[in-house]
């Protein structure tokens, strides 16, 4: 287990080194013993600063042996605090249970050492105090390790959650762009194809009608370019580069889709409170399906506004879905309307199709 708080060991090494050198300077003096004490602490610090490829148990045992060696060369006795690191390091190396067991073992070993080398220590306040302080230090070290591990785990979970959020956001944006391409470019490319087919068919029979079809195809191409630019500028779900009037925009759309073989009526009632791009996309989807796939000759588009919601209805007298399932366009439309808090209802038979969409203000 990686150690989230490596600075604790370094801090203790520094405190022990400063205390030992100060004690030697004011007491017995700096000599070979102090030099060995300093070198051993530097080795301990170097162990913490590297990633070893040997087993964690071997590194742990080496640290414990160095703690004992430092304590043997430390005349001040301050280095005993390093043994608090044994359960602390064991917690990260072997887990919480091993850390607690090592902590209890260190306290027991200290009490055993007092028993062997300090007769009557159990009635001497300074040794009782040392044992209690050491036990408290072990407990604080274990608590610190547990808190550090939980914090690291929480940070890892947070990073994982953020990564999932980023992935979902990217997926949602890709889906939005796919729906936007289908609803906008797909519709206009379909309209261009229909008008160009008409222009080719009537090129010699009806030059005026053919020229009008080419003009409508050109309008659809320009409109597609405008919508692509608007989508690139906004890059937001259901965002609009500027306000538009739904009734006017639908009238323009119907005008450029209507031809001699197909009559499209538009009826708008009520007062429009704000622009509703979702209804415009729904109308595009309904008109595209009716013009391209159903063979309808009569198509009706109605829009009604009231105080609570806006309603769109696209009906045709075509052949319906003819047993085919809903395609990408209708699936995307349902998702778009759902995000806007509205509903979609589709009824289809061999006598025609009705698409109803309601969106609250």
Q: What is the pLDDT of residue 235?
A: 45
Structure tokens at 104: 């209890």
Q: Count Cβ atoms below 10 Å from residue 91 Cβ, excluding itself.
A: 25
Q: What is the pLDDT of residue 242?
A: 43
Q: What is the pLDDT of residue 113?
A: 86
Beta-sheet pairing, 309-316 with 298-305: antiparallel
Q: Are 194 and 219 in contact (CB under 8 A)?
A: no
Sequence-separated (6 or more) residues with CB below 8 Å from residue 175: 332, 335
Q: What is the pLDDT of residue 80?
A: 85
Q: Count Cβ atoms below 10 Å from residue 160 Cβ, excluding itself.
A: 10
Residues 259, 260, 262, 265: is their CA dihedral positive or negative? positive
Q: What is the pLDDT of residue 239?
A: 45
Using alpha carbons, list the distances in angstroms from residue 302 to 86, 167, 253, 254.
79, 40, 13, 12
Distance CA 213, CA 292 (A): 15
Confidence (pTM): 0.49
Which residues in the chain come in under a pLDDT of 50?
Answer: 1, 233-243
């Amino acid at each position: 287990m990686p150690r989230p708080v490596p600075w604790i060991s370094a801090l203790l090494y520094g405190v022990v080194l400063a205390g030992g050198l100060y004690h030697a300077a004011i007491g017995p003096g700096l000599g070979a013993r102090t030099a060995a004490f300093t070198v051993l602490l530097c080795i301990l610090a170097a162990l913490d600063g590297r990633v070893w490829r040997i087993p964690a148990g071997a590194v742990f045992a080496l640290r414990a042996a160095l703690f004992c060696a430092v304590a043997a060369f430390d005349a001040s006795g301050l280095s005993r605090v390093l043994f608090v690191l044994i359960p602390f390091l064991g917690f990260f190396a072997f887990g919480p249970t091993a850390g607690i067991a090592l902590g209890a073992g260190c306290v027991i070993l200290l009490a055993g050492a007092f028993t062997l080398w300090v007769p009557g220590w159990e009635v001497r306040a300074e040794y009782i105090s040392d044992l209690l302080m050491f036990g408290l230090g072990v407990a604080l070290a274990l608590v610190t390790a547990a808190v550090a591990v939980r914090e690291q785990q929480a940070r890892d979970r947070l990073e994982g959650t953020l990564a999932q959020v980023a992935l979902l956001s990217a997926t949602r944006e890709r889906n939005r762009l796919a729906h936007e391409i289908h609803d906008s470019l797909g519709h206009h490319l379909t309209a261009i194809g229909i008008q160009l087919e008409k222009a080719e068919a009537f090129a010699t029979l009806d030059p005026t009608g053919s020229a009008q079809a080419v003009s409508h195809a050109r309008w659809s191409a320009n409109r597609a370019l405008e919508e692509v630019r608007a989508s690139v500028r906004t890059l937001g779900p259901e965002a609009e580069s500027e306000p538009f009037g739904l009734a006017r925009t639908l009238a323009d759309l119907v005008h450029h889709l209507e031809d001699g073989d197909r009559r499209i009526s538009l009826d708008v009632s009520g007062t429009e409170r704000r622009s509703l791009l979702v209804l415009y996309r729904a109308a595009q989807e309904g008109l595209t399906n009716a013009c391209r796939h159903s063979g309808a000759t009569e198509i009706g588009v109605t829009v009604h506004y009231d105080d609570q919601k806006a309603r769109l209805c696209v009906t045709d007298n075509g052949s319906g879905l003819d047993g085919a399932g809903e395609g990408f366009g209708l699936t995307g439309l349902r998702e778009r309307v759902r995000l806007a808090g509205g509903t979609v209802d589709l009824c289809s038979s061999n006598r025609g199709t009705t698409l109803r969409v309601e969106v609250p203000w």
